[in-house]
A and B are shown apart, each in its own frame.
Chain A
Amino acid sequence: QKEVEQNSGPLSVPEGAIASLNCTYSDRGSQSFFWYRQYSGKSPELIMFIYSNGDKEDGRFTAQLNKASQYVSLLIRDSQPSDSATYLCAVNGGGGADGLTFGKGTHLIIQP
């Protein structure tokens, strides 16, 4: 059974600092990796996706993937109070349109 593990937090980070969120997955055949942000009472919103080993940057966000270690991370630079949310890591087996396996999320709090 596919599993995605995240530290539930809360992770508290001062405003302006770098927030680092981590995720591990069990299925070595996983191909696609996603980070979604979810505000309380709202739906998941896609932040980043990554398919290849290494780093992928988009604005203040950087996704990092290490398939050998089965590890995905999300870095948020210059953290803002509006970044306070639950961050969900999701994994897809690849090969087309498969359903996602989600971690339970990390609750991030940015302290002003």
Chain B
Amino acid sequence: DAGVIQSPRHEVTEMGQEVTLRCKPISGHNSLFWYRQTMMRGLELLIYFNNNVPIDDSGMPEDRFSAKMPNASFSTLKIQPSEPRDSAVYFCASMDSNQPQHFGDGTRLSIL
């Protein structure tokens, strides 16, 4: 079975540019999560969706961050405009009802 698929694996861009991270959850999973991992703050939940509907976006750091899930097999996390402090590894995870979450390989984002 294919796991959670994230793209790109690495992204390097200049401050002020728009960044779009993509995630394909495991087929049949009805919940999707976006996390960010940094050395200072560890792994933090940004937002999650149940059945394509955003449930809790309280972890989104500011209005520059937005996330969408237009269908059950695709989600995006967008940062516009990007800033150097957004540099981190961004993980997407998915789960089926009441089962543990499974993580994608992550996107390593560097904002110069």
* Chain B residues within an 8 Å CB radius of A104: 42
- Judge whether B100 and A49 touch: CB under 8 Å: yes
A52-99, CB < 8 A from B? 88, 96-99
Interface extent on A, as a size class? 10 to 19
The reply on A44 being an interface residue by CB < 8 A is yes
The reply on A22 being an interface residue by CB < 8 A is no
Mostly helix, strand, loop or mixed at chain A's interface?
loop
A42, A98, A105: the one within 8 Å of B42 (CB): A105
- Judge whether A100 and B101 touch: CB under 8 Å: yes
Q: Which of B15-23, B68-76, B90-98 contacts A (4 or more CB under 8 A)?
A: B90-98
Binary CB contact string for chain B from 39 to 73 against chain A (1 if under 8 A, 0 otherwise): 00011110010100001100100000000000000
- Judge whether B105 and A43 touch: CB under 8 Å: yes
- Judge whether A97 and B95 touch: CB under 8 Å: yes
- Judge whether A97 and B100 touch: CB under 8 Å: no
- Judge whether B104 and A43 touch: CB under 8 Å: yes
- The docked-state distance in angstroms from the alpha carbon of A101 to that of B98 is 16
The reply on B31 being an interface residue by CB < 8 A is yes
Binary CB contact string for chain A from 6 to 39 against chain B (1 if under 8 A, 0 otherwise): 0000000000000000000000000000101000
- The docked-state distance in angstroms from the alpha carbon of A34 to that of B62 is 28
A positions within 8 Å CB-CB of B: 34, 36, 42-46, 49, 88, 96-105
B positions within 8 Å CB-CB of A: 30-31, 33, 35, 42-45, 48, 50, 55-56, 59, 91, 95, 97-98, 100-106
Closest 10 CB pairs of A and B: A97-B31, A99-B45, A104-B42, A102-B43, A43-B103, A99-B48, A44-B103, A46-B100, A49-B100, A43-B105
